Structure 1
Amino acid sequence: MFTQRIRRAAGAALLGLLPLLGVTAFAGTAQGHGWTQNPASRQDHCASGAVTGCGEIQWEPQSVEGPKGFPASGPADGTICAGGNGRFSQLDDPRGAGWPTTPLTSGANHEFRWQISVSHATSSWRYFVTRDGWNPNQPLSRAQLEPAPFLSLDYGGQRPPSVFAHSGTLPNKSGHHVILAVWDIADTGNAFYACSDVRFS
């Protein structure tokens, strides 16, 4: 009888802990952080279903995390759009220049927008663009990008809100280009990467 009471009490205690254990397990495995929605990134197109055959990234658009320090270090050439993460290699596939493009006005002011699922202390937000004459049929490399970002925003270690937007001036370009957005994290060795196919007019 005494043993049965102990078993019942232990079982009740375990049942009471299950919700807490579930929350802890979920929080411990959360890998996601953020991605660009304006201009729409490749992972955003995959998550929305506008592009199919994307593999795992369709469920994890926020997870394109790789080493920071770009362009001096960071993801290897040909793996930049996936942040060097082989799980998301579909983002590096140029698809015959077939990714949907966001129309932009050359030299205009633009509101850049990120969706943030897990906030981080942030060093900066930086935006690179492909050179004139780049080859849209090849995976993105440093040689295809202008060497310096056309826009940088110092964030001073602050944590961004769940929807982070800021304005900046677009480069003077025409036709199809790729904008590479880099979100540099202040308190880890990583950054988040997002490639957006755009068409300047």
Structure 2
Amino acid sequence: MPARRKAAAVATLGLAPLALTALTAAPSSAHGSMGDPVSRVSQCYAEGPESPRSDACKAAVAAGGTQALYDWNGIRIGDANGRHQELIPDGKLCSANNDEFKGLDLARTDWPATAVSSGSYTFKYRVTAPHKGTFKVYVTKPGYDPSQPLAWDDLDLADPVATATDPAPVGGFYTFSGTLPERSGKHLLYAVWQRSDSPEAFYSCSDVTFGGGNSEESGTENAGGTDASPAPTASAPSEEQIDAGTDKSTVENHGHGDNDAGTSAEPAAAANQPKAAGATENLAETGGDSSTPYIAVAGAAALALGSAALFASVRRRAVGGGRTGR
């Protein structure tokens, strides 16, 4: 085979697998958790997985270990497809029936809480890989008892306090408005983010205190009936804290993971390495969406087709040259 034909064949064969890899890649997994009012898992992560300050977060770590907190943005069901009540039993709503996060299901009155008031509220959902979908936030009914395991019947499912479809991610957050009803004392907000480009859904529990006071003023007894230290005011993790824990996370905090919350498309440490200068920003910061993988697919396909055309052109010239030389 002449050198030119051989080079063209090598180039085409080398590019084809890359194009096929892109063409067979499915849209990847999103990640996130409620940032305001801060979710239980985000609050405990902000306190520090290895040495949390609040009694509730200490108990959560004792029950489920520290990994759940490093994986704060991975409470999910990959094939939910709207079947939330079917797949998540009573008492396991905050963990989404995932044993890794079972510490978040502990029935306690001293979970750190965000002070809220009835009326309009701006929700902020911390997202580390944005995708199309719908958010619904539910509040517990009057008479909710935080010392009992959270059940679906505890939530006012008929009247979500917020619903938002495809809000634009800005600065790492999906921001949308809702209205909190008249309540008093400790309550819980349950957020469900159901993707529309995948059956995957994400879940989070946020403890709140109605009445304008902070949660330190409402600390009572824990689920065991013994005196507990007052619940501290909840606070979301900072960007520095999120970045500091990425090497211990099993989900990709700055990019798109796969369809398994317990694994990532590549080792977490590698997936979360700082980008080289000039590299594309995190999609959560730039407002990218699920169309991004398809742009890459189109580019790879075009590259493969162009290489094939080049090979055919070189082959024709080589064949023509051979005939001329006869």
TM-score, shorter chain, exceeding 0.5: yes
Would you say 1:83 and 2:96 are equivalent positions?
yes
Amino acid at match of 2:178: G
8 Å CA contact retained: 1:68, 1:191: yes
Q: Distance in 2 between matches of 1:185 and 1:41?
A: 19
Distance verdict in 2 for CA 1:139–1:126, change over 3 Å: same
Kindly state the Cα deviation for residue 70 of structure 1 after the two structures are TM-superposed: 5.4
Deviation string, structure 1 residues 33-84 (Cα, Å, up to 9, x no partner): 0001100110111110153343222101100002242554341211111111
| Secondary structure at the counterpart of residue 44 of structure 1 | helix
Q: Percent identity?
A: 31
Counterparts in 2 of 1:26-175, with a 5 A limit? Answer: 33-49=31-47, 51-52=57-58, 53-54=60-61, 55=65, 56-66=67-77, 67-69=80-82, 72-94=85-107, 96-106=108-118, 108-122=119-133, 124-148=134-158, 149-155=160-166, 160-161=169-170, 162-175=172-185
Name 1:193's counterpart in structure 2.
Answer: 203
Distance verdict in 2 for CA 1:83–1:65, change over 3 Å: same
Select between 68-77 and 34-43 the one with higher mean Cα deviation.
Answer: 68-77
Q: Distance in 2 between matches of 1:186 and 1:43?
A: 24
Amino acid at match of 1:38: D
Q: Distance in 2 between matches of 1:183 and 1:31?
A: 13
Alignment RMSD: 2.0
More strand by share: 1
| Secondary structure at the counterpart of residue 103 of structure 2 | helix
Kindly state the Cα deviation for residue 31 of structure 1 after the two structures are TM-superposed: 6.8
User: What residue ranges of structure 1 are gaps of 5+ in the alignment?
Assistant: 1-29
Amino acid at match of 1:111: T
Would you say 1:181 and 2:191 are equivalent positions?
yes
| Secondary structure at the counterpart of residue 117 of structure 1 | strand
Select between 55-64 and 67-76 the one with higher mean Cα deviation.
Answer: 67-76
Kindly tell me the number of residue pairs found equivalent between the two proteins: 167
8 Å CA contact retained: 2:33, 2:203: yes
Distance verdict in 2 for CA 1:159–1:110, change over 3 Å: closer
Q: Distance in 1 between matches of 2:127 and 2:85?
A: 26
Deviation string, structure 1 residues 5-50 (Cα, Å, up to 9, x no partner): xxxxxxxxxxxxxxxxxxxxxxxxx976000110011011111015
User: What residue ranges of structure 2 are gaps of 5+ in the alignment?
Assistant: 1-27, 48-52, 212-326
Kindly state the Cα deviation for residue 121 of structure 1 after the two structures are TM-superposed: 2.2
8 Å CA contact retained: 2:94, 2:204: yes
Deviation string, structure 1 residues 84-108 (Cα, Å, up to 9, x no partner): 11110011112x21101110011x2
| Secondary structure at the counterpart of residue 183 of structure 1 | strand
Distance verdict in 2 for CA 1:169–1:79, change over 3 Å: same
